Structure 1
Amino acid sequence: MTAKKRFIAGAVCPKCGAMDRIVMYKKDDKDYRECVACGFNDEMRFKPQARELDTRVNVTEQEKQDTQVVKILIPKD
């Protein structure tokens, strides 16, 4: 069975410098990239995902209650 290869738009080959000649495919649960111009091939290694930043959208109700409201006072002249 042949892996389905997809072109990566705007990608530049690190070996020959050709643009839009890199294809990506998955083989044995690993991601690979390959240049169709020069034959360059390597495994793509992705960095682990960073923890999502806390925002008002993804914070629980309990965590919202632990916050303190600050009132800014404007001095009168």
Structure 2
Amino acid sequence: MTTVRKRRFIAGAVCPKCAEMDKTVMFTNDEGEEVRECVSCGYSQTTSEQAVEDQAKEIVTRVTPDGKAILDEGEQPLRILGLNPKK
């Protein structure tokens, strides 16, 4: 007997592979994991695969070790054009 899995479309979701909007469905597989799948191109990803991918991608900012601190070098006074200096 085949198990029928209830699939639900995710409104506004964009497929990371083909970039089609509103073509992504979610369902639970036999192992109990949530799976997202594109009905347009067949792309499929489980929640555990997504978690591993998210951990691998750390956003580089100026406070992360890979980011570079922004330093002001050679400070200079600001001169506004069109104003007469006070005498």
Q: If the length of structure 2 is used for normalisation, what is the TM-score?
A: 0.50
Distance 1:40 1:4 in 2: 18
Distance 1:29 1:22 in 2: 19
Query: 3-state SS of the aligned residue for 1:39?
Result: coil
Q: Give per-residue Cα distances to partners, 1:21-77, cap 9 Å, x unaligned.
A: 000000121000000000000102477xxxxxxxxxxxxxxxxxxxxxxxxxxxxxx
Q: How many corresponding residue pairs?
A: 47
Aligned residue in 2 for 1:40: 43
Q: Please, which runs of 5 or more residues in structure 1 have no aligned partner?
A: 48-77
Q: Which has the higher helix share?
A: 2
Structure 1 segments, 4+ long, off by >4 Å, are none
Q: Which has the higher strand share?
A: 1
- Max radius of gyration: which structure? 2
Identity, % of aligned positions: 47
Q: If the length of structure 1 is used for normalisation, what is the TM-score?
A: 0.56
Distance 1:44 1:16 in 2: 19
Aligned residue in 2 for 1:31: 34
**1:3 CA displacement:** 1.0
CA RMSD across the alignment: 1.5
**1:9 CA displacement:** 0.3
Aligned residue in 2 for 1:7: 9
Query: 3-state SS of the aligned residue for 1:19?
Result: coil
